[in-house]
Amino acid sequence: MASRVDHEYDYLFKIVLIGDSGVGKSNILSRFTRNEFCLESKSTIGVEFATRTLQIEGKTVKAQIWDTAGQERYRAITSAYYRGAVGALLVYDITKRQTFDNVQRWLRELRDHADSNIVIMMAGNKSDLNHLRAVAEEDGQTLAEKEGLSFLETSALEAHNIEKAFQTILSEIYHIISKKALAAQEAAASTVVPGQGTTINVGDSSGNVKRGGCCSS
């Protein structure tokens, strides 16, 4: 019964991955959704997405995570990518200063294209390469505080803080949504239909992910 399967969650949240090419977005996604990592992954072309369902404060939350190319020439239409997104993971590479300097550029893009209430987590990825570090953890922390973002250093390779990064984003979104639902209920105008889940504007929710590169079997 396909329709039953479609509603085996309380909430569906769309989250977008952004950041320069090569920072590890696709590997963060594969680590989180399939527990896979690929040392020689190819640059993403266009848009892919993958899903994972998890428990957030007793609710079943389906995270639909979108991944696109950091390289401008491979990117799909920007507005469609951000449409309906309630969370963003903005990734830089702790071994490449330029990817950190470009964080401001990505924040501008979010401001221009995404919902103004989008929950943003900044991740300094490749924390396993501490000997090649070009961005101090405090620099990440300082920028995050200045911009009002959550912040973690992660490693897709070592599966360090990947789980925590998504858990944090999803919990924050859940808190915002449940506060809004409560306010709406109090105003006797709730838009949440109990038991049917709250669908947050997504396109294709088939749950499939296109696989490419060296990790495909």
Ligand X SMILES: Nc1nc2c(ncn2[C@@H]2O[C@H](COP(=O)(O)OP(=O)(O)OP(=O)(O)O)[C@@H](O)[C@H]2O)c(=O)[nH]1
CA distance 119 to 121: 7
Task: Determine the interface stretch with Mg ion among 26-34, 115-123, 130-138, 172-180 (rule: CB under 5 A).
Answer: 26-34
Task: Read off the DSSP letter of residue 160.
Answer: B
User: Which three-class secondary structure state does DSSP give residue 170?
Assistant: helix
Give yes or no for a contact between 156 and 24, defined as CB atoms under 8 angstroms apart.
Answer: yes
Helix (H, G, I), strand (E, B) or coil at 131: helix
| By CB under 6 A, residue 22 contacts ligand X | yes
Which of the listed partners (Mg ion, ligand X, none) does 104 bind, with a CB threshold of 5 to 8 Å by partner kind? none
- Identify the residue whose tokens are 């990518």: 81
Query: Which residue is it, tokens 């919902």?
Result: 115
Query: What H or E segment, with its residue span, contains residue 63?
Result: strand 59-68
Tokens read off for 204: 């294709």
Q: How far is the CB of 108 from Mg ion (least distance, A)?
A: 21
> Is residue 161 within the footprint of ligand X (CB under 6 A)?
no
| Contacting residue, 8, 43, 101, 164, with ligand X by CB under 6 A | 43
CA distance 94 to 102: 12
Question: Looking at 16-24, 48-56, 78-86, 96-104, which segment touches ligand X (CB under 6 A)?
Answer: 16-24
CB of 164 to Mg ion, least distance (A): 21
Of these, 12, 16, 18, 23, which contacts ligand X (CB under 6 A)? 23
- For position 18 contacting ligand X by CB under 6 A, the verdict is no
- Positions in 53-92 near ligand X (CB under 6 A): 69-71
Is residue 33 close enough to count as binding ligand X by CB under 6 A? no
- Rule CB under 5 A: say whether 44 interacts with Mg ion: yes
- The residue among 130 and 201 lying less far from ligand X, judged by its C-beta, is 130
Round the CA-based radius of gyration of the chain to a whole number and report it: 17
23 binds, among Mg ion, ligand X, none (CB under 5 to 8 A by kind): ligand X
Q: Which residues pair with 47 in a beta bridge?
A: 68
Tell me which residues touch Mg ion (CB under 5 A). Answer: 25-26, 44
